[in-house]
């Protein structure tokens, strides 16, 4: 989704900016307020901190801490109630070279709910609780299967959730003589076929239409390969199989095992997605017509104004490039939202991502129709 990708980008940019601030002494205040905390409670906590700060030995540190607390207190008065995820204040006098300082006041609304209240005074702002928040957590379906049991699960971020654990009625093979042996083997194969169908049906219920990026399939030996090769899964799910792995188990520990074995492949998935988008763009640039692709800030702004952009591609490092104004990405994102264009932030971890930055100035777009 365009807005999610942009919010993640803007949040990361804010953290990077705040990380670079340094104070001369322990005078930078970080205040984390979870949504359920009452504003008047926070105000009385700050009054207490303010009176404690009178004991600070250094006159300038005492003055700066007091000013930071005062600034947060007056900002808090502007809130009728706290945002649903809570709010974080980073306020204090930061160094701007020599003995000079300047006051910064950053207010961050986090992309996920803050768990606890926290007040910290230090020579740098305390960012740890915000690291990793706002990462778009892709979901992956997990299936481990053999002839006797199967488990289905979902992986989101680092969290594995078991959705279903099933046992089959497939009899185990054991020798019987003559006619009955062949008949018995045929019954086993029919039972196995029904079992695979049952697991595939459960997979459809668990994964189809649930924003699953891809599937990992595991199990001991040849069963999982047979299950994949014979295409028991719904064709939409069959298309998104990332890989299969040998696992020793087909229960919950099998799900954990498959995630460990498939970790490398999963980190490739986002890069592969970005690679495909960039390849589409390059194909359009290199085609003889080449009129459904554009790049360069002016051209893209014009195309967005006209509502001609279908997919906007922005390099993660765009605002760090020379002569690019801060806030450009937000402005372009707002324009894209108006015309319902998709926005993808392209990381600089792949060749394609680097070429977007170096060859196309960090901005490119695929168009809905040609524009002159």
CATH of the domain at 310: 3.30.1330.30
Instruction: Report the CATH number that the domain containing residue 191 is assigned in CATH.
Output: 3.30.420.60
Whether residue 261 sits in one domain with residue 143 = yes
Predicted TM-score (pTM) above 0.75: no
Predicted pLDDT of residue 73: 97
Quote the tokens at residue 343: 């926005």
12 lies in some domain: no
Instruction: Report the CATH number that the domain containing residue 34 is assigned in CATH.
Output: 3.30.960.10
Predicted pLDDT of residue 152: 98
Whether residue 298 sits in one domain with residue 260 = no
Predicted pLDDT of residue 7: 80
151 lies in some domain: yes
Whether residue 143 sits in one domain with residue 237 = yes
* The domain boundary residue, chosen from 85, 106, 130: 130
What is the span of the domain harbouring residue 50? 18-130
Whether residue 95 sits in one domain with residue 47 = yes
281 lies in some domain: no
Whether residue 339 sits in one domain with residue 260 = no
Whether residue 324 sits in one domain with residue 251 = no
* The domain boundary residue, chosen from 212, 235, 269: 269
223 lies in some domain: yes
203 lies in some domain: yes
- Cα–Cα distance for residue pair 319/362, rounded to 1 Å: 9
Predicted pLDDT of residue 61: 93
> pLDDT tens string for the chain (372 positions)?
456 678 888 888 899 999 999 998 899 999 999 999 999 999 999 999 999 999 999 999 999 999 999 999 999 999 999 999 999 999 999 998 878 899 999 999 998 889 899 999 999 999 999 987 866 567 899 999 999 999 999 998 767 899 999 999 888 776 555 568 888 889 999 999 999 999 999 999 999 999 898 999 999 889 999 999 999 999 999 999 999 999 999 999 999 999 999 988 887 777 777 888 999 999 999 987 768 999 999 999 999 999 999 999 999 889 889 899 988 999 999 999 999 999 999 988 778 888 999 999 999 999 999 987
Predicted pLDDT of residue 3: 63
Domain count of the fold of the chain = 3
Predicted pLDDT of residue 179: 62
């Amino acid at each position: 989704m365009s807005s999610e990708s942009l919010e993640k980008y803007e949040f990361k940019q804010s953290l990077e900016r705040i990380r670079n601030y340094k104070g001369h002494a322990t005078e930078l205040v970080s205040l984390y307020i979870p949504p359920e905390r009452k504003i008047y409670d926070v105000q009385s906590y700050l009054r207490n901190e303010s009176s404690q700060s009178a004991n600070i030995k250094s006159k300038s540190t005492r003055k700066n801490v007091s000013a930071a607390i005062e600034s947060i207190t007056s900002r808090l008065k502007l809130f009728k109630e706290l945002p649903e995820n809570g709010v974080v204040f980073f306020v204090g006098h930061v160094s701007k070279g020599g003995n000079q300082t300047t006051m910064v006041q950053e207010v961050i609304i986090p992309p996920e709910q803050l768990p606890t209240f926290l007040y910290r005074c230090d020579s740098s702002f305390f960012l740890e609780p915000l690291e990793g928040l706002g990462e778009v957590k892709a979901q992956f379906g997990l299936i481990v299967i053999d002839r006797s049991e199967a488990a289905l699960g979902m992986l989101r971020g680092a969290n594995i959730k078991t959705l279903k654990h099933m046992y089959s009625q497939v009899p185990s093979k054991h020798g019987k003589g003559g006619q009955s042996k062949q008949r018995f083997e045929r019954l086993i194969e029919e039972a196995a076929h029904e079992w695979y169908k049952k697991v595939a049906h459960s997979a459809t219920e668990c994964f189809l239409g649930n924003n699953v990026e891809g599937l990992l399939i595991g199990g001991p030996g040849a069963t999982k390969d047979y299950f994949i090769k014979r295409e028991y899964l719904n064709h939409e799910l069959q298309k998104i199989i990332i890989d299969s792995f040998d696992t020793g188990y087909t229960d919950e520990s099998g799900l954990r095992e498959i995630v460990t074995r498939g970790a490398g492949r999963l980190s490739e998935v986002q890069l592969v997605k970005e690679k495909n988008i960039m390849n589409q763009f390059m194909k359009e640039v290199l085609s003889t017509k080449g009129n459904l692709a554009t790049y360069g800030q002016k051209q893209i702004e014009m195309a967005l104004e006209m509502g001609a952009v279908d997919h906007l591609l922005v390099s993660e490092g765009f605002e760090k490039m020379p002569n690019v104004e801060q806030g450009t990405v937000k402005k372009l994102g707002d324009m894209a939202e108006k015309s319902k264009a998709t926005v993808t932030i392209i990381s600089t971890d792949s060749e394609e991502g680097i070429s977007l930055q170096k060859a196309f100035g960090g901005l490119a777009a695929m168009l809905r129709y040609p524009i002159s």
